[in-house]
Structure 1
Amino acid sequence: MSDSSSTSRPLQSNEGGARGIDARVVAHELLSQILRRRQALDDALAQHPGLNTLEPRDRGFARAMVTACLRQLGIIDAVLSLCLREPLKPRDAAGHDLLRLGAVQLLVLGTPAHAAVSRTVALAEQVGVPHLKALINAVLRRIAEQGELMRLRIDAERKALPDWLWASWSRTYGEDTVRAIVKALMNEPPLDISLRDPSRAEELCGDLGGLMLPTGSVRLARAGLVTDLPGYSDGSWWVQDAAASLPVRLMGDLKDKRVADLCAAPGGKTLQLAAAGAKVTALDRSAPRLGRLSENLARTGLHAEVVAGDAASWNPPTPYDAVLLDAPCSATGTARRHPDVLWLKSPGDIDKLTVAQDRLLASAAEMLVPGGMLLYCTCSLEAAEGPERIAAFLARDSRFTTEAISPDEVGGLADAISPEGWLRTLPHHWGDLGGLDGFFAARLRRAA
């Protein structure tokens, strides 16, 4: 979970000097690593050598700057463009990122103007753009004075997405729905957890100060450090967005059924399957990610057979009663928690992923007993990675038919059920409760 601040309670660095500068240096390095070297936000946070050396408050401030900047990158760049006579040259990329970080402090995080401006300007020499100090100072001072008026001059919802995503989502959902999605993406999401023992839901809600969602997940508005929360160390629950928990819930009674969880790591759905009494085989081709899955199994006291292998070519010794395929995808549906995906993915990525998804579907189909269930899901908002993949699969393989999903299986969320009987959650669904990740799922049945 990202550790960002909200606009209602600004998270600022200590005013004592060096520690504040350090937080901004780290934030600048992280932003550069993500936008210039195309590294995922979670990986950049995990691998940065200086982040964990900061004081806790400064560490939170650095993370907040980066996360908020990625969440509102298009809007920030649009505001900056109103202040610049011409775009900065490619060789001044470090200066561009400094401006972004200064702007997000002023426009989003509520950092006092004197600190946001002076400390950002002071970094120009350190990051190799001393010739831009005067420009950075002038631009940030103008944003401090006129930033809110500048925001009113731009179409913020349109600017919040790259052009290709705006076009893709508008074709699929319509512009009004895209604008609702964008508004949801601008908010820091709550923390959702799935329970090992659902009968303890009321007890854990009380211990954690959480809210029980209609689908059985528990939602925490303010969680803090996850590992310090009651019930974590004894494995009573695991972190999992409420939308991500739905595919397993759609598989019905799994007691003593043999189930393959394909592309299983890091294991949230494996834990759900095991907790439901299934005899689970968790397959993933990444050994390091399987290590994390095994750690989660050990913490929760649940059991699954863990296998390293490529689901596109793996042949199980015995067919399964059910197969869950959480296919690798663009993950655009997770932008509430991972705003970097909006800026790191491209149409070319989608083209490559759909080829892999078709291969995985064909392979999964052969792993089932006659009459078995195939549950396909992706955390993508792209039609090409969801409904289009299932339509193409059903056209190729006449053994399978859709087993329609009903609203009562997903907490009464009728808007999330397509005419075909497939599931499509969107970030603005349950907006009054804090939203959902974007997820697609289709439940298919092989002929007996």
Structure 2
Amino acid sequence: MPTAPGFPARRAALKSLDAVMRRGETLEQAEAAALKGVDGPADRALARAIIGESLRWLTDLDLLIDSATKKRLPDDAKPRSVLRLMLAQALRLGTPPHAVIATCLPLLTGGPRRLAHGVFSTLMKREVTLPDVPTLSDAVLTRWGNRAETIAPGLIDPPEVDLALKNAEETEARALEMGGISLADGHIRLPRGTPIEKMPGFAEGAWWVQDLAAQLPPRLLGNGEGKRALDLCAAPGGKTLSLAARGWNVTALDISGKRLEMLRENLKRTHIEAEVVKADALTYHPAKQFDAILLDAPCTATGTCRRHPDVLHRIGPRAIGEMTEIQQSLIHQAVSWLPSGATFVYAVCSLEFEEGEDQARWIDETFDLEPVPITAEELPAGLQPTKEGWLRTHPGMLAEAGGLDGFFIGRWRKL
């Protein structure tokens, strides 16, 4: 077995890439299994960086590989996968070519090894480079249409770390203390790589990690002042924490016991209270009425492509169709629980029209709900609602400040 330093990290990256591209696993699922044989946080971080950059720039890496082979390698050929990892390291992570060869070629044997060595050496001699912006696949370009050109620049690098503060009045002081920037009251952005547990305020529960876009749905319900709110599909809990911190009496419902444990841990650390209910939302019967319901619905999560670039390659029409059906079932349930005058917020971390804009139009046509347009005054500087009064964010927005995830959010009131 090869013993070159760094080889286990490359082997784990190959296993992860294979699990995503051939078996359709999520990157989190793939890494959980692949990283079991990798010791030490540095090597684990390296493996994650290699697979992340390989997926982020996959289309461009494949174009380079194809330019140096007489016969195109099959998409699932092991030499192609290894070459993707090799080029990602050389062109994105700055790994010296000799180190790439020493740690990656042992992943192959015989003819495939000689082939990969030859292709990689040829490309290095040509001094190839990647484009300034990742090239999206034809399938993604077709789905996203004109938006793709503005989304792609937000995918160049992994995202920085966003924090949501329990007490928004501490924003300026906390940002100064932590050396971060703030894009909204109650928000701080820090450079990626900062150890979470060592940040000031972690032990005392002053904040939790949550992308800026994910912080917006609960903000759009305003201050609770003791009123009741139901957070549907609540785990791991960022929106529950946000609602409770804004004075809502929150019931947090989710079907996953494991993810609810994370929610309980966050509640305990932040000293925030909420009722936690493990139940299937499609069969749940609330014993009380709510003044507001927030449904951050299960979705394809293509809006998280900055941190989960696997969604760029494993999500297609079938997955989108399945999710839209689940979303409509959950919307039916949520709306049936709304008393007159109650507010309903629907959100998804998806960039797909079917899960966002199309669902909002369906809500308008199907239910006795009055749209409550989102206003620019409710949003961080630089974001604007759509003409319909919805909010659509994507990774290319606020690019000068580091971007944000892709979300769709709509708001209504029960008549």
Counterpart check, 1:117 vs 2:101? yes
Equivalent position of 1:160 in the other structure: 135
Counterpart check, 1:21 vs 2:1? no
Equivalent position of 1:96 in the other structure: 80
* Match for residue 357 of structure 1 among 319, 324, 327: 327
Separation in structure 1 between the aligned mates of residue 295 and residue 103 of structure 2, nearest angstrom: 48
* Match for residue 169 of structure 1 among 144, 148, 160: 144
* Match for residue 140 of structure 1 among 104, 113, 120: 120
Q: CA deviation at 1:413?
A: 3.1
Separation in structure 2 between the aligned mates of residue 19 and residue 187 of structure 1, nearest angstrom: 26
Report the residue type matching 1:298 in the other structure: K
Q: CA deviation at 1:351?
A: 0.7
Query: Counterpart of 2:24 in 1: which secondary structure?
Result: coil
Report the residue type matching 1:58 in the other structure: D
Separation in structure 2 between the aligned mates of residue 253 and residue 371 of structure 1, nearest angstrom: 16
Counterpart check, 1:131 vs 2:102? no
* Match for residue 78 of structure 1 among 40, 44, 63: 63
Q: Do the aligned partners of 1:164 and 1:347 also contact (CA within 8 Å) in 2?
A: no
Equivalent position of 2:181 in the other structure: 211
- Residue pairs, 1:174-193, within 5 angstroms: 174=146, 177-193=147-163
Query: Counterpart of 1:371 in 2: which secondary structure?
Result: coil
Q: Do the aligned partners of 2:12 and 2:35 also contact (CA within 8 Å) in 1?
A: no
Separation in structure 2 between the aligned mates of residue 215 and residue 36 of structure 1, nearest angstrom: 43
Q: CA deviation at 1:18?
A: 2.6
Q: CA deviation at 1:246?
A: 0.5
* Match for residue 289 of structure 2 among 296, 301, 319: 319
Q: CA deviation at 1:17?
A: 6.4
Separation in structure 2 between the aligned mates of residue 43 and residue 305 of structure 1, nearest angstrom: 29
Equivalent position of 1:8 in the other structure: none
Counterpart check, 1:230 vs 2:200? yes
Q: Do the aligned partners of 1:106 and 1:143 also contact (CA within 8 Å) in 2?
A: no
Report the residue type matching 2:263 in the other structure: L
Q: Do the aligned partners of 1:19 and 1:54 also contact (CA within 8 Å) in 2?
A: no
* Match for residue 108 of structure 1 among 64, 75, 92: 92
Q: Structure 1 residues 215, 145: closer, same or farther in 2, change over 3 A?
A: farther
Aligned length in residues: 414
Q: Do the aligned partners of 1:79 and 1:147 also contact (CA within 8 Å) in 2?
A: no
Q: Do the aligned partners of 2:290 and 2:339 also contact (CA within 8 Å) in 1?
A: yes
Q: CA deviation at 1:266?
A: 0.9
Q: Structure 1 residues 324, 147: closer, same or farther in 2, change over 3 A?
A: farther
Report the residue type matching 1:441 in the other structure: I
Equivalent position of 2:43 in the other structure: 58
Equivalent position of 1:10 in the other structure: none
Equivalent position of 2:400 in the other structure: 432
Q: CA deviation at 1:50?
A: 3.1
Counterpart check, 1:42 vs 2:28? yes
Separation in structure 1 between the aligned mates of residue 185 and residue 57 of structure 2, nearest angstrom: 30
Q: Do the aligned partners of 1:381 and 1:440 also contact (CA within 8 Å) in 2?
A: yes
Query: Counterpart of 2:250 in 1: which secondary structure?
Result: strand
Query: Counterpart of 1:445 in 2: which secondary structure?
Result: strand
Q: Do the aligned partners of 1:107 and 1:147 also contact (CA within 8 Å) in 2?
A: no
Report the residue type matching 1:30 in the other structure: S
* Match for residue 375 of structure 2 among 390, 406, 419: 406
Separation in structure 2 between the aligned mates of residue 188 and residue 309 of structure 1, nearest angstrom: 34
Separation in structure 2 between the aligned mates of residue 396 and residue 368 of structure 1, nearest angstrom: 15
Q: After superposition, give the CA deviation of every residue in 1:255-280 in whole Å (9 maximum; x if it has no partner).
A: 20100000111111011111111111
State the TM-score, normalizing by the size of structure 2: 0.95
Q: CA deviation at 1:441?
A: 0.4
Q: Structure 1 residues 206, 30: closer, same or farther in 2, change over 3 A?
A: same
Report the residue type matching 1:19 in the other structure: P
Query: Counterpart of 1:243 in 2: which secondary structure?
Result: helix
Query: Counterpart of 1:58 in 2: which secondary structure?
Result: helix
Equivalent position of 1:9 in the other structure: none
Separation in structure 2 between the aligned mates of residue 222 and residue 336 of structure 1, nearest angstrom: 12
Separation in structure 2 between the aligned mates of residue 49 and residue 392 of structure 1, nearest angstrom: 43
Q: Do the aligned partners of 2:161 and 2:192 also contact (CA within 8 Å) in 1?
A: yes
* Match for residue 360 of structure 2 among 390, 393, 405: 390
Separation in structure 2 between the aligned mates of residue 304 and residue 286 of structure 1, nearest angstrom: 17
Report the residue type matching 2:44 in the other structure: R
Equivalent position of 2:269 in the other structure: 299
Counterpart check, 1:419 vs 2:394? no
Query: Counterpart of 1:368 in 2: which secondary structure?
Result: coil
Query: Counterpart of 1:307 in 2: which secondary structure?
Result: strand
Q: After superposition, give the CA deviation of every residue in 1:42-75 in whole Å (9 maximum; x if it has no partner).
A: 2232343535x42333222211111111111111
Separation in structure 2 between the aligned mates of residue 216 and residue 277 of structure 1, nearest angstrom: 14
Q: CA deviation at 1:137?
A: 0.7
Query: Counterpart of 1:323 in 2: which secondary structure?
Result: strand
Structure 2 stretches lacking a partner, 5+ long:
none
Q: CA deviation at 1:223?
A: 4.0
Separation in structure 1 between the aligned mates of residue 223 and residue 194 of structure 2, nearest angstrom: 34
Q: Do the aligned partners of 2:213 and 2:406 also contact (CA within 8 Å) in 1?
A: yes
Equivalent position of 1:239 in the other structure: 209
Report the residue type matching 1:115 in the other structure: A
Separation in structure 2 between the aligned mates of residue 244 and residue 163 of structure 1, nearest angstrom: 28
Equivalent position of 2:340 in the other structure: 370
Q: After superposition, give the CA deviation of every residue in 1:300-337 in whole Å (9 maximum; x if it has no partner).
A: 11111111112223221111100000011111111011
Separation in structure 2 between the aligned mates of residue 438 and residue 215 of structure 1, nearest angstrom: 20
State the TM-score, normalizing by the size of structure 1: 0.88
Structure 1 stretches lacking a partner, 5+ long:
1-15
- Residue pairs, 1:189-204, within 5 angstroms: 189-204=159-174
Query: Counterpart of 1:121 in 2: which secondary structure?
Result: helix
